[in-house]
Structure formats: C-alpha cells, structure tokens
A and B are shown apart, each in its own frame.
Chain A
Amino acid sequence: KAGVTQTPRYLIKTRGQQVTLSCSPISGHRSVSWYQQTPGQGLQFLFEYFSETQRNKGNFPGRFSGRQFSNSRSEMNVSTLELGDSALYLCASRPSDTLGNTIYFGEGSWLTVV
C-alpha cells in the first residue's frame, strides 16, 4: 500500500507570492492533517480535515488555508508568502477519527521563500 504522497517535494517562491501544496493520503484514510516544521518552532499543527470538513485549526494566520476533496486528497495554500514561511510542510493521514489511530506522515514539501 502506498504511503502518504506529497507534491511538490521542493519549491522556491518569492516573497508575496502564493503556493499550493498537495497531499494524497494512504488509500482508505479519511483524515488528513498538515504540520509545519522549522528549526526554531519545531513541529506545529496547521489544520486537519476529515470527510472534507476542517476539524481543527492551529494557531496560524489566515494566510494559511486548506481543503479536502471527496477522494480525501488535500491541498494547503499559503498566500502572500513571507520569509518566515520557509519550512518543511508535512502532511499526515489516519484511517478515521478514532483517537487511537496511528498517524502516518509523508516525506514533506520543502518550501523556501526568497
């Protein structure tokens, strides 16, 4: 079974632009969440989607948004990019909303803002 797939793996954007990152969860998984990883702040939760509905949102500005499609694939968008948005963005999926589910991560999308 294929794991969590994220595209693109690497990208460079200019300050002020916007970016869209894509995530395909493990087949059969209905929940997708996103995390930002930076050397200074570590791993921080962005948001989670379950059956196309946002279930929870972390403490990030409104420039960060996401959505989930009917096939459980998810995208996140960052508008008006800032230098501080440079980070590894990780997508994760789990089968359902049971608390004990294991959460599986993808390889991440490396975003550099210049």
Chain B
Amino acid sequence: AQSVAQPEDQVNVAEGNPLTVKCTYSVSGNPYLFWYVQYPNRGLQFLLKYITGDNLVKGSYGFEAEFNKSQTSFHLKKPSALVSDSALYFCAVRDRGSGNTGKLIFGQGTTLQVKP
C-alpha cells in the first residue's frame, strides 16, 4: 500500500532561520510527490511538486524540496523562515494504484510555527 509519513507533528523555528519539514513516502514505482500549505480556516494551497528530473524542486513563496530516492524522502525546505510561513503543511503522493485518477494520499500534516 502506498503511504506518506510526516514524522513531526510540529516544527518550531525562529524567523530568519532555515526550516525543514520532513516527509517520507512508500510507493510502488516512480512517485509523484506534492507539498501543500493550509492556513487557518482555508483550503490547501499548492507549493510544489516532483514528477521527474532534478531532485531539487523550487516552488512558491521561496520554498523548495529535495527528492531523495534512496531515502524515500521529500523534505520541504526554506532558507530563511518568515512568521507568515506559520501554517499546516501537508505532503502528498499520487496514488499510482488507481490508474490515472487524481487521488492523493496525504500525510497527517506538520504544523510549522515561526517565532519572531
């Protein structure tokens, strides 16, 4: 079965410091991986995705993610955190077992708290 794990419920960083939100995955075949952010009482906003190609993927709002096939990880990173980055972050993988459907399997989410 395909799955995604976000091992940290919460990550705390100081503003200006680099941040990492961790994600590991388990899929059969090549993974299609996504990161989304959710602000309070809002929907999900797309940040970035990995389909193929370079292992370092750049996305919105200065975020990037590094795909590591050997470690089956897709960690989200940002060189310098902002207080406004405080939100709930979700890693997701496209369910390859359901054909070409758009079914995403989500991790449980990681709350990022950036303190001034």
Complex interface: chain B residues within 8 A of A6 (CB): 43
Secondary structure dominating the interface of A: strand
Q: Give the number of residue pairs across the A-B interface with Cβ within 8 Å.
A: 72
Interchain CB contact under 8 A, B104 and A90: no
Does A56 interact with chain B (Cβ within 8 Å)?
yes
- How many chain B residues sit at the interface, stated as a range, is 20 to 34
Write the chain B residue with the least CB distance to A56: B101
- Most chain B beta-carbon neighbours within 10 Å: one of A33, A105, A106, A110: A105
Does B70 interact with chain A (Cβ within 8 Å)?
no
| A101, B103: Cα distance in complex, Å | 11
Complex interface: chain A residues within 8 A of B109 (CB): 42-43
Interchain CB contact under 8 A, A100 and B51: yes
Using CB atoms and an 8 Å cutoff, list the residues of chain B in contact with chain A.
32, 34, 36, 41-46, 49, 51-52, 90, 92, 94-96, 98-109
Using CB atoms and an 8 Å cutoff, list the residues of chain A in contact with chain B.
4, 6, 31, 33, 35, 42-43, 45, 48, 50, 55-56, 58, 90, 92, 94, 97-108, 110
